[in-house]
Amino acid sequence: MGHLSEEIINKANILLEIYPNKRSALIPLCHLAQGQDGYLTPEAIVEIADLVGVTPAEVRGTASFYDMFHLEPVGKHVVAMCTNIACMLRGADELLEHAQESLDVGIGGTTQDGQFTLEEAECLAGCNNAPCVQVNHRFFGPLDNEGFDRLIKDLRSGKLKDEVPEHGVLNRVDRNYGLKATPDQVQAERDVMESAKKERLAKKSESN
Amino acid sequence: MSDIIVNKNLPIVSKRLGIEEAYKLETYLSTGGYEGLKKALQMNPEDVADEVMKASLLGRGGAGFPAGRKWSMLKPARVKYLVINGDESEPATFKDHDLIERDPHQIIEGVVVASYALGVNQAFIFCRGEFALGLERLQAALNEAYDYGAVGADIFGSGFSVDIVVHPGAGAYICGEETSLLQSLEGKRGYPRIKPPYFPAVMGLYNQPTVVNNIETVSNLPWIVLNGGDAFAAMGQDSSAGSRIFALSGQVKRPGNYEVEMGKVTFRNLIFDESYGGGILDDLALKAFIPGGVSAPWFGPEHLDLPLTQEAIANKGSMLGSGSVVVFNESTCPVKAAWRISKFFYRESCGQCTPCREGSGWIEKIMHRIETGNGRMEDIDLVMDVCDNIAPGLSWPPKQTTICVLGPSIPSSIVSAVNMFKQDFIDHIEKGKCTFDK
């Protein structure tokens, strides 16, 4: 029994099938592994490398480029607060300051109980609800200090657990099927379409 | 207050954003969904491409390249791909976010229409990773579309097949650049590719010819097929045809996505009309605004009466870009705003090219020390000099010194801030603090 669960391996096998090149499944597989462990563990990286057919260093090297992958453990809830221009104009800096005080943690830090990791984020495309915050990539906003404290309280009490799954779980809707258009079918169709097109072009040039 | 005559065709691309549960197939079908695709499948593929060419649909991602022309450049090959760019990360842009979460079927329909016109049998929708709900809605819609027969093998009995894969990003602004997006889709670090080849249409995903279109661009296709390219081209002004979503944010009363006919609405309408922005927050005066995402040079109140078209804005030295308008009122510190934008580029530079990697860090540091009151008078010239090294001449559009356009986009906001608000920079340095702090 490997590190990744059977359920994840099953999902991974479908992903490996739907791309023309297995390597393309690398990032989706990292998301799946992060969904299991909350961050990308060294064990998961080795197994992803095996599945995709590259070295673990390549998986790690690719994952480290992207903000969403955590190579160290993080809190159950990653609170990402946007401070980019649109949110800044709506008081994001003040809100981030309040968040640090209220959670008693610095930017990038995790609370002692392991519940919250606080991050400063770049634009999350929620500018119509500025200042906006994502918790495990679910949107909340616009938030003021009281709204933020209420959100934290609701996350702590588990009131939002359906809306906000534990950190790492990204897409809860599965693709549980492979490609439907088989290569033979595609080839046959292409032949038909191409000869039809040739005919049309021939007719066109005739009528000209 | 408003004297705009709203075109009866509007809204086109955003028509379901206000409808509850429009992301479900049932709602989509009851509001005319998949009719465009059914019509397209009755037509010859090249006629569908013709309608898009006639529509003069400009790409909605930021560069504004005509979609029809992009399609016509696709090199004939046995294997070709269509990739949809849904990695929306330009600060203050949030139109694709809404389209993905609230009308995913329209995107899927557009993708199938485009695939049919292009003769593509596998398409990818690259969705920004941070859109967790969007990814779930897209995948759920795709599952429904497969069951309905709108995607997959022998679509609606037409003999045309295409598979669609929803692909999650993982958090990197640069992956919105098309070659970087393709690298990411190939499972690699998102480094933009060296040009030439300039166009993925020649060499794209897995080195095969690939068309990369934006989410909003393909979302327009069902309407164009149903109503004809001419009907689309009849709207708008000059080469800016049709309608477009403008994402309005910052210090306005009603930030949001507003679809308007191109050229028929001015910035003043967009920011002040009750049906759009509703005026400036706290009823203060307007100080400046960004017309098209943070890569664009800023405009001042004297530009309020410009119509929203690609040409009008380009003529005045900025760009329509991703269609995101950010409003600053008089309480905003322009030094802080420019510093925050430079910090964004510093964080998001991929690090391949020296001018961008080093320059963004230098600019961020200098801007930060001016903003916090630790600047020196010569810093103003210094920051402009660094900008000049990234985009020599500081002209618009900027000169290219790097593999992609991220680097040359860095100076825009800095140069705008220094040129428009130099006295504020001097005040910060002389008083040794941010003069806008309360």
pLDDT in tens, B347-364: 999 999 999 999 999 999
DSSP A77: E
Q: In what order do the strands lie in the sheet with A116-121?
A: A116-121, A77-82, A133-135, A138-140
Q: In what order do the strands lie in the sheet with B122-127?
A: B163-168, B122-127, B81-86, B210-214
B308 inside domain: yes
A72 inside domain: no
3-state secondary structure chain B: CCCCCCCCCCCCCCCCCCCCCCCCHHHHHHCCCCHHHHHHHHCCHHHHHHHHHHHCCECCCCCCCEHHHHHHCCCCCCCCEEEEEECCCCCCCCHHHHHHHHCHHHHHHHHHHHHHHHCCCEEEEEECCCCHHHHHHHHHHHHHHHHHCCCECCHHHCCCCEEEEEEECCCCHHHHCHHHHHHHHCCCCCCCCCCCCCCCCCCCHHHCCEEEEEHHHHHCHHHHHHHCHHHHHCCEECCEECEEEEEEEECECCCEEEEEECCCCEHHHHHHCCCCCCCEHHHCCEEEEECCCCCCCCECHHHCCCECCHHHHHHCCCCCCCCEEEEEECCCCHHHHHHHHHHHHHHHCCCCCHHHHHHHHHHHHHHHHHHCCCCCCCHHHHHHHHHHHHCHHHCCCCCCCCCCCHHHHCHHHHHHHHHHCHHHHHHHHHHCCCCCCC
Average pLDDT over residues A82-103: 98
B167–A197 C-beta distance less than 8 A: no
Structure tokens at B287: 């100080």
Integer Cα distance of A177 and A14 in angstroms: 7
Whether B5 shows a pLDDT value over 80: the answer reads no
Which site among B87, B93, B161 would you substitute to test the A interface, given the most A Cβ atoms closer than 10 Å to its Cβ? B161
Specify the pLDDT at position A30: 98
Residues B253 and B118 in one domain: no
CB-based contact, A163 to chain B, within 8 Å: no
B238 inside domain: no
CATH number assigned to the domain comprising residue A47: 1.10.10.1590
What's the domain count of chain B?
3
Distance to chain B for A103, nearest Cα, Å: 23
End-to-end C-alpha distance for chain A, whole angstroms? 70
Give the angle B2-B3-B8 at the CA atoms, nearest 5°.
100
Structure tokens at A164: 């906000």
B167–A125 C-beta distance less than 8 A: no
- Domain's final residue, options B277, B303, B329: B329
Distance to chain A for B350, nearest Cα, Å: 8
B42 inside domain: yes
CATH number assigned to the domain comprising residue B413: 1.20.1440.230
Structure tokens at B314: 């380009």
Q: What's chain A's average pLDDT?
A: 96
Whether B107 shows a pLDDT value over 70: the answer reads yes
Residues B84 and B152 in one domain: yes
Specify the pLDDT at position B2: 55
Within 10 Å of residue B230's Cβ, how many Cβ atoms?
12
Specify the pLDDT at position A1: 59
Residues A59 and A81 in one domain: no
Residues B403 and B323 in one domain: no
Specify the pLDDT at position B62: 87
- Domain's final residue, options B188, B203, B232: B232
Q: Are strands B122-127 and B81-86 parallel, antiparallel or unpaired?
A: parallel
**Domain ranges, residue A85:** 77-157
Residues A98 and A132 in one domain: yes
Interface size, chain A vs chain B, as Cβ–Cβ contacts under 8 Å: 202
Within 10 Å of residue B328's Cβ, how many Cβ atoms?
22
Whether B175 shows a pLDDT value over 90: the answer reads yes
- Domain's final residue, options B329, B359, B378: B329
* C-alpha neighbours within 13 Å on the C-beta side of residue B157: 0
B270 inside domain: yes
Determine the residue of chain A that is closest to B137 in CA distance.
Answer: A173
Residues A100 and A137 in one domain: yes
Q: Are strands B122-127 and B256-261 parallel, antiparallel or unpaired?
A: unpaired
Whether B410 shows a pLDDT value over 80: the answer reads yes
B139–A181 C-beta distance less than 8 A: no
A137–B131 C-beta distance less than 8 A: yes
Residues A81 and A147 in one domain: yes
Average pLDDT over residues B129-154: 98
A88–B247 C-beta distance less than 8 A: no
CATH number assigned to the domain comprising residue A118: 3.40.30.10
Whether B429 shows a pLDDT value over 80: the answer reads yes
A51 inside domain: yes
User: pLDDT category, B4, cuts 50, 70, 90?
Assistant: confident
Interfacial B residues in 202-231 facing A (CB < 8 Å): 206
CB-based contact, A14 to chain B, within 8 Å: no
pLDDT in tens, B183-199: 999 999 999 999 999 89
Determine the residue of chain B that is closest to A191 in CA distance.
Answer: B78
Residues A95 and A31 in one domain: no
Specify the pLDDT at position A194: 87
CATH number assigned to the domain comprising residue B277: 3.10.20.600
Q: What's chain B's average pLDDT?
A: 96
Determine the residue of chain A that is closest to B46 in CA distance.
Answer: A197
Residues A148 and A123 in one domain: yes
Nearest Cβ partner of B94 from A69, A127, A193? A127
Residues B216 and B265 in one domain: no
Specify the pLDDT at position B7: 87
A193 phi, psi to nearest 5 deg = -65, -40
Nearest Cβ partner of B344 from A84, A130, A172? A84
Residues A145 and A86 in one domain: yes
pLDDT in tens, B328-344: 999 999 999 999 999 99
Whether B283 shows a pLDDT value over 60: the answer reads yes
Whether B250 shows a pLDDT value over 70: the answer reads yes
Residues A101 and A133 in one domain: yes
pLDDT in tens, B295-333: 999 999 999 999 999 999 999 999 999 999 999 999 999
B1 inside domain: no
A175–B143 C-beta distance less than 8 A: yes
**Domain ranges, residue B349:** 334-431
B437 inside domain: no
Residues B113 and B166 in one domain: yes
Specify the pLDDT at position B3: 62
Whether A83 shows a pLDDT value over 70: the answer reads yes
Integer Cα distance of B355 and B195 in angstroms: 17
Integer Cα distance of B59 and B315 in angstroms: 19
Residues B165 and B216 in one domain: yes
Residues B187 and B322 in one domain: no
- Given a contact cutoff of 8 angstroms between Cβ atoms, the answer to whether B389 and B415 are in contact is no
A26-37 vs A42-52: helix crossing angle, rounded to 10: 150
Residues B82 and B121 in one domain: yes
Determine the residue of chain B that is closest to A121 in CA distance.
Answer: B344
B115 inside domain: yes
Higher pLDDT, A200 or B342: B342
A91 inside domain: yes
Distance to chain B for A136, nearest Cα, Å: 9
Burial category of B222 from C-beta neighbours within 10 Å (exposed 0-12, middle 13-18, buried 19 and up): buried
Average pLDDT over residues B218-225: 98
A171 inside domain: no
A1 inside domain: no
Interfacial A residues in 139-158 facing B (CB < 8 Å): 139
Of chain A, the percentage scoring pLDDT greater than 70 comes to: 100
User: pLDDT category, B260, cuts 50, 70, 90?
Assistant: very high
Which site among A107, A123, A174, A198 would you substitute to test the B interface, given the most B Cβ atoms closer than 10 Å to its Cβ? A123
Residues A56 and A89 in one domain: no
Residues B325 and B338 in one domain: no
Residues A38 and A85 in one domain: no
User: pLDDT category, A183, cuts 50, 70, 90?
Assistant: confident
Integer Cα distance of B369 and B363 in angstroms: 10
- Given a contact cutoff of 8 angstroms between Cβ atoms, the answer to whether B130 and B88 are in contact is no
Average pLDDT over residues B368-372: 98
CB-based contact, A91 to chain B, within 8 Å: no
Integer Cα distance of B339 and B367 in angstroms: 5
What's the domain count of chain A?
3
Of chain B, the percentage scoring pLDDT greater than 70 comes to: 99
CB-based contact, B171 to chain A, within 8 Å: yes
pLDDT in tens, B110-137: 999 999 999 999 999 999 999 999 999 9
Residues A58 and A81 in one domain: no
B166–A186 C-beta distance less than 8 A: no
Chain B residues lying within 8 Å of A127, measured CB to CB: 91-94, 247, 249-250, 255, 324
Residues B186 and B45 in one domain: yes
CATH number assigned to the domain comprising residue B87: 3.40.50.11540
Name the 3-class secondary structure at A65: coil
Average pLDDT over residues B283-300: 97
Q: Give the containing element (helix H, strand E) for A118.
A: strand A116-121
- Given a contact cutoff of 8 angstroms between Cβ atoms, the answer to whether A118 and A99 are in contact is yes
Residues B45 and B78 in one domain: yes
CB-based contact, B119 to chain A, within 8 Å: yes
B222 inside domain: yes
Average pLDDT over residues B161-175: 97
Structure tokens at B300: 């001042």
Whether B165 shows a pLDDT value over 80: the answer reads yes
CB-based contact, A19 to chain B, within 8 Å: yes
Nearest Cβ partner of B170 from A21, A27, A175? A27
Residues B205 and B82 in one domain: yes
CB-based contact, B42 to chain A, within 8 Å: no
